[in-house]
Amino acid sequence: MNDYLKFLGREAALGRLSRREFMGRAAAVGLTAPLAASLLSSSVKAAGPQRGGHLKCGLEGGASTDVLDPAKFTSQFCFMVGRNYGDTLIETHPTTGEALPSLAESWEASPDAKVWTFKIRKGVQFHNGKEMTIDDVLATLNRHSDEQSQSGALGIMKTVSSIKADGGSLVVSLEDGNADLPLLLSDYHLVIQPGGGVDEPNAGIGTGPYKVASFEPGVRATFERNTNDWRDDRGFAESVEMLVINDATARTAALSSNQVHFINRVDPKTVDLLKRAPHVKIQNTSGRGHYVFIMHCDKEPFANNDLRLALKYAMDRETLVEKILRGFGKVGNDFPINETYALFPEDIEQRGYDPDKAAFHFKKSGHDGSVLLRTSEVAFPGAVDAAVLYQESCKKAGIEIEIKREPGDGYWSNVWNAQPFCTSYWGGRPTQDQMYTTAYYSKADWNDTKFFRPDFDKLLIEARAELDQAKRKDMYREMAIMVRDEGGLILPMFNDFINATTNKVDGYVHDIGNDMSNGYAATRLWLTS
Amino acid sequence: MVQESGPAGTGRAPQGSLAAGLSGPSPANDSGAPSGRGGGLAALRRRMPLATLLAQRLGLSLLLLWAVSVVVFLGIEALPGDFAQTYLGQSATPQAVANIRAELGLDQPALSRYLEWLGGVAQGDFGKSWASGNSVTEQIGLRLGNTLFLAFWAALVSVPLAVGLGMLAVHFRDRWPDRLINVVSLGAISLPEFFVGYILILFVAVQGGWVTFPSTVYAGMSFGQRLEAIILPCATLVLVVLAHMMRMTRAAIISVMSSPYIETAELKGLDTLRIIARHAAPNAVAPIITVVALNLAYLVVGVVVVEVVFVYPGMGQYMVDAVTVRDMPVVQACGLIFASVYILLNMTADILGILTNPRLRHPR
């Protein structure tokens, strides 16, 4: 009887048997109705993804300035649009973060990690029916390398000295060795377009699981399933609709009233209320993004490392995670890497709130008077509250913080990277190397703590080309300790990505790569009937 | 760049001051008209008072629109950061900023940039959006259509409702129906409109599930679907503008009701509703029209908060998006359209005010 029921369940899951028929037959073999129903739902789950249906997403972050050109993707909305219609050469593993083949089938590096050869997948067609060739890949990468392109991936492509086609393979040469190149090519701007998108950057044509059906910037985008997709493990819905809902309350209301299946950026303040709805599931994923307080190491009074240490010890991290993130995040340890990165140095001692040590270092620094901290609501959600909490925890260590609230308009051009002490936000990067290179390398434009250390720079460049993972991990440990103990970074917390789905969809993958299941939410979710 | 949007900021009360300078239903103090000089003009005014007024007003409007464009331009200039910096946001490198500036000519002095833009507009070319590269005219066409659609239906419901309720309030003056109408409409206007919106969403959309939400409209939607989509934003707007017009109707009619001729009508034995509708209302119509015009203008230009809350793709949200990145061609075009709507509605109010008043129609 048991096998027979399992068989029935499977048949029902595959759609060969209607729910009514299943219940009837199950009753015929003496099963009570509730038991039969629960059996049915578990069979359905076990049967895996289901195809068909219309998936609706309500997303924060769209504006009427959005475009389909991957080079100019800036918003969360565009990020997901790009993932729907296009593919990159490389993808990342949702839980380990390692590089996975996508449009590049396989790859290998020269021993010094300077020359990389990528084998490009064959038999993949663009949405316009044209076969993807190595010329398309070449043209795409060249377009993003162009100084005039305004591409968001320009920083990554700058390190490339030449890109060539060699038969069916792509040969990328770098100025300096970089063991992480495959991961860098997973950047969401580097969507492979026909002809590289040189002629029509905004065509919205790629190799992804969904074809763009309509796109109204700042309003809505709709997609049809690409029936010719080269992969069968994604793109389950028949059609997808993405609505721009920038108001947090409206987004939550749309989900609560079942008008959409998925929303991003749930406000931590209202998560507990949203949880009460029986059909809503909160999907929070550890992320690499972090909220920071940054000091310029080259400006008084922060040029003194004792003052920097005092301000680090005076940070009550647990309270900030609890109050600002409502528990949806983890404490930071004053270096910008957490356990979601490959080669994370686990054994570095966690810095805690220690008013005595803070007072000791503050006295030792010889600084007199208050310390001015600039903040604004745009730095990160709750930044002003966080500054006030910090002011309180500093007071217990005898350090007086003066808070100056700056206008949100122009904060990124006038305060961040310009003023010596302010609140800010960093999104994650695909690799440790990329994070350090972007924000802690002496010559980086965004070295926002003005951390100038020749020995750190040397280690960074050595580690980049090091293919021996054990050695590389040691190097990253050393660099982390330098930033933690001598840098200008106070990193109280890493924030989770908080999304939510209704119980009408399944298959959400917690991807450490980025928000919204690394942008793949719409391609990974399926509708349960 | 991620934009924080919240329902804060926009003033909700229709701005009376701008209108006061423009309207004022008496043509006797026509601002700026050189009535003393030139016998020809004075003669023309006597013969065709309405046509002259119209011509004067149109001329002044063009001047005013130009002034608006200057103010908007200066306003954007005064904001911290230019387009290149704000568009790139946290990811602005000096090289990328320089590239964008050179491409858009932002490295030119302000005056020459303004003149270049003005030259384009004089030829009917509003240019392209700096951020998306799309034609401003085309995009605004869609958004303006949506805004007008919502404003039209909100007006169609709210104006007759407000005037009707105002008359009813006069009829039951100082009795419970009057009190009820007052309390409810004043209550609605006292709540911030996003709050009214959230309350409607909570009870009607989330708990009731009776109407569609979000109210996004898009190409390919049928007329019926569109109407269904705008029920909630329309209801919110009606609640927000109702009180102002209703109170004015009530006050204007009450002031007329104390005139001797109304007493005569009463003595003739007419019933009150008939007196209000036939005798009092026509003479109270001028101030009502002015208030209605102000509220109509508000329905077009002041509804950004409602748009955000209900996810309705109208002009307001479009302009706010453009201001956040200092997308000058878009901001300018939106500013000019909003100013035109204001000017046009106020002018219409004045002209209707004159037409409905025989004394103003035939000035001595």
Whether residues A147 and B322 touch (CB distance < 8 A) is answered with no
The Cβ-side half-sphere exposure at A342, using a 13 Å CA radius, reads 20
Angle at A160 between CA A449 and CA B91, to 5 degrees: 35
Which CATH architecture group holds A88-197?
Alpha-Beta Complex (3.90)
C-alpha of A485 from chain center? 27
Q: Name the strands in the sheet holding A104-109, side by side, starting at the edge strand that comes first in the sequence.
A: A104-109, A115-120, A169-174, A160-166
Per-residue pLDDT of chain B (364 residues; tens, 9 = 90+): 333 333 333 333 333 333 333 333 444 444 444 444 456 667 777 777 778 878 888 898 889 999 999 999 998 888 877 888 777 766 667 777 888 888 888 888 889 989 988 998 888 888 888 888 888 988 888 899 999 999 999 999 999 999 999 989 998 989 999 999 999 988 888 999 899 999 999 999 888 888 888 899 888 889 999 999 999 999 999 999 999 999 999 999 899 888 899 989 989 988 888 888 888 888 888 889 999 999 999 999 888 889 989 989 999 888 888 888 888 899 999 999 999 999 999 888 888 888 887 777 666 5
Determine contact: B90 vs chain A, CB below 8 A: yes
Does the residue B316 lie in any domain? yes
Does the residue B102 lie in any domain? no
Does the residue B254 lie in any domain? yes
| pLDDT-derived band at A517, boundaries 50, 70, 90 | very high
Of the candidates A150, A218, A259, the beta carbon closest to that of B317 is on A218
Most B-contacting residue of A56, A64, A239 (CB-CB within 10 A), to test interface? A64
Query: 3-state class of B288 per DSSP?
Result: helix
pTM of the model: 0.81
Does the residue B354 lie in any domain? yes
Tell the CATH topology of A54-58+208-286+497-527: D-Maltodextrin-Binding Protein; domain 2 (3.40.190)
Phi, psi of A160 (to 5 degrees): -85, 130
Tell the CATH topology of A290-495: Dipeptide-binding Protein; domain 3 (3.10.105)
Tokens representing B141?
Answer: 């066409």
Determine contact: A148 vs chain B, CB below 8 A: yes
Spatial separation of the C-alpha atoms in residues A192 and A504, rounded to whole Å: 32
Spatial separation of the C-alpha atoms in residues A397 and A313, rounded to whole Å: 9
Q: Where are the alpha helices (DSSP H) in A32-133?
A: 33-46, 76-85
- Count of positions (residues) in chain B: 364
Look at chain B and report how many structural domains it folds into: 1
Give the domain extent around B307: 136-361
Residue A36 has pLDDT above 70, yes or no: no
In this structure, the number of other CB atoms found within 10 A of the CB of residue B90 comes to 20
Which chain B residue has its CA at the smallest distance from A214's CA? B219
C-alpha of A178 from chain center? 22
Spatial separation of the C-alpha atoms in residues B24 and B350, rounded to whole Å: 7
Query: 3-state class of A108 per DSSP?
Result: strand
Give the end-to-end CA distance of chain A in Å, rounded to a whole number: 26
Q: Which CATH number goes with the domain that contains B234? A: 1.10.3720.10
Of the candidates A63, A254, A259, the beta carbon closest to that of B3 is on A63
Whether residues A378 and B79 touch (CB distance < 8 A) is answered with no
Does the residue B270 lie in any domain? yes
